[in-house]
Amino acid sequence: MSKTIYFVAGEASADNHGASLMRALRNLDPSLRFAGRGGPQMKAIAGDQFENWIGKSAVLGLWEVIKQYGYFRKQFHATVHEIESRKPDAVLLIDYPGFNLRLARALRRRSKVIYYISPQVWAWNRGRIKQMAGWIDLMLCIFPFEADLYNQSGLRTVFVGHPMIERLQTARVAVERDPNLIGLFPGSRVREVRKILPILIEAADELVRQESNLRFEIAASSPQLKDEIETILERRSIDRTLFAVKIGETSAMMQRAFTGIVASGSATLEAAYFRFPFVLVYKVSWITYLVGRLVVKVKYLGMPNVLAGREIVPEFIQHKAQPKKLAAAVLKLIRDPATRKQMVTNCDAVIDSLGGSGASERAARAIVEELSLA
């Protein structure tokens, strides 16, 4: 008899990882059925029993979530009801901790719960891990230090490696870096771009004053985001010919640009993988930042720095995200070969710690084994 897995993914990156996981699961057991909610890639595999809700679910920051509280409350209760009605053999939660941890707690062992891409509670509330052990049957983590941390707290955990690696291996291109090209990566959400891109444009303006041959490419994850970026560019007093907006070319840009500025998030690990010298920037609403300062317990924001245990990539967060400071850090990467080389070497070590390719296959095997125990 075929078994059903109910997926919950709430962001574009989780849709990528979820789709890869679905394919790996089907390779192991073609009879598996999928249901749930996520993005377009997962829906293309799962079919009509799957809802594409990422357009509304992928919001960032405390204030933004509060403003959409009614929507999320409605979706939460609808998800619980659907799981209880379908009675899947397992519920597979992918990242998205604000929603998915609450969902795991609500299910409370009424369904087998597997969590893929563990929530970063080690950064803001390690004490919650013991509570999670009462809600979650199996944790599949993507960072090596997480497995020991979770297992010590009684939450059964398997380190499967980072699924990003297998995707990026296929995105390699044979290209030489252009010494005059700077890559700007302002984030994958509209609110991120509105906060961060104006700072990057001012930094670019400062860079051109000191290196007149420079030009810039800006990464956009969708046509909608490209339109937003174009609108922001049109409002600035800049030489528009120096900026090109590229849709869906993040990996290629990181391989052809000489250096750049990357918004904190999964793109920072992508930059590390492609040996792309960069500086890290981030800015959110002040209420989100202040609340974050109260609860976040780690010293660094960027995952390359968290994994290295030190600042191997310069971080410019919130009030420190100043155009002149960003420009100075980028110029150092342009002009100082030793600084570039040291960053690349450090990033290589971080990527080596992530387990190599095959994360989706390892995760799929762990899930199939868990289903066989049901």
The whole-number pLDDT of residue 60 equals 55
Mean pLDDT is lowest, of 89-98, 147-156, 183-192, for 147-156
Q: What is the pLDDT of residue 114?
A: 97
Is 19 found in the same domain as 118? yes
Looking at residue 58, its pLDDT comes to 57
Q: Contact at 8 Å (CB) between 246 and 222?
A: no
Check residue 286 and give its pLDDT: 64
Lowest mean pLDDT among 56-60, 126-130, 256-260, 340-344: 56-60
Q: How many CB atoms lie within 10 A of CB 112?
A: 19
Q: Which residues contact 271 (CB under 8 A, 6 or more apart)?
A: 185, 254, 260, 262, 278, 304, 347
Judge if 173 and 158 occupy the same domain.
no
Query: 262-295: per-residue pLDDT in tens?
Result: 999 889 999 999 999 999 999 877 676 665 665 5
pLDDT of the residue at 155: 87
- Confidence class of residue 195 from pLDDT cuts 50, 70 and 90? very high
Give the CATH number of the domain where residue 289 resides: 3.40.50.2000
Domain count, the chain: 2
Whether 229 and 308 share a structural domain: yes
Residue percentage of the chain with pLDDT more than 70: 90
Residues 219 and 309 in one domain: yes
- pLDDT on residue 127: 62
pLDDT score recorded for residue 250:
95
Amino acid at 124: W
For residues 220 and 307, state if they share a domain. Answer: yes
Same domain assignment for residues 261 and 323: yes
On average, the pLDDT of the chain sits at 90
Higher pLDDT, 238 or 122: 238
Q: Is the pLDDT of residue 129 over 80?
A: no
Which one, of 137, 125, 154, lies nearest residue 93 by Cα? 137
> What pLDDT is attached to residue 2?
85
Query: Based on the domain organization, do 176 and 132 belong to the same domain?
Result: no
pLDDT in tens, 343-358: 999 999 999 999 888 9
Whether the predicted pLDDT of 310 surpasses 60: yes
Q: What six digits make up the tokens of 182?
A: 């700077």
Model pLDDT, residue 197 = 97
User: The tokens of 216 are what?
Assistant: 């810039």
* Statement: residue 59 has pLDDT above 60: no
* Average pLDDT rounded to a whole number, residues 18-37: 96
For residues 135 and 259, membership in a common domain is answered with: no
The letter for the amino acid at 213 is: N
Q: SS3 letters for 238-256?
A: CCHHHEEEEECCHHHHHHH
Same domain, 304 and 256: yes
Residue 54: per-residue pLDDT: 80
Is 58 in the same domain as 153? yes
* Count of beta carbons in the 10 Å neighbourhood of residue 81: 10
* Domain assignment of residue 197, given as a range: 169-352
CB–CB of 133/155 below 8 Å? yes
Q: Rounded mean pLDDT of 8-35?
A: 93
* Range with the largest mean pLDDT of 116-120, 152-156, 340-344: 340-344
Are residues 212 and 292 located together in one domain of the fold?
yes
Residues 120 and 204 occupy one common structural domain: no
Q: Looking at the predicted structure, is the pLDDT value of residue 241 above 70?
A: yes
Helix (H), strand (E) at residue 206: helix 190-210
- Please report which helix (H) or strand (E) contains residue 26, including its range: helix 12-28
Take residue 197 and report the two structure tokens written for it: 């891109």
Mean per-residue pLDDT, 22-43: 96
- DSSP H helical segments within 211-336, as ranges? 223-234, 250-256, 266-273, 286-295, 303-308, 323-335
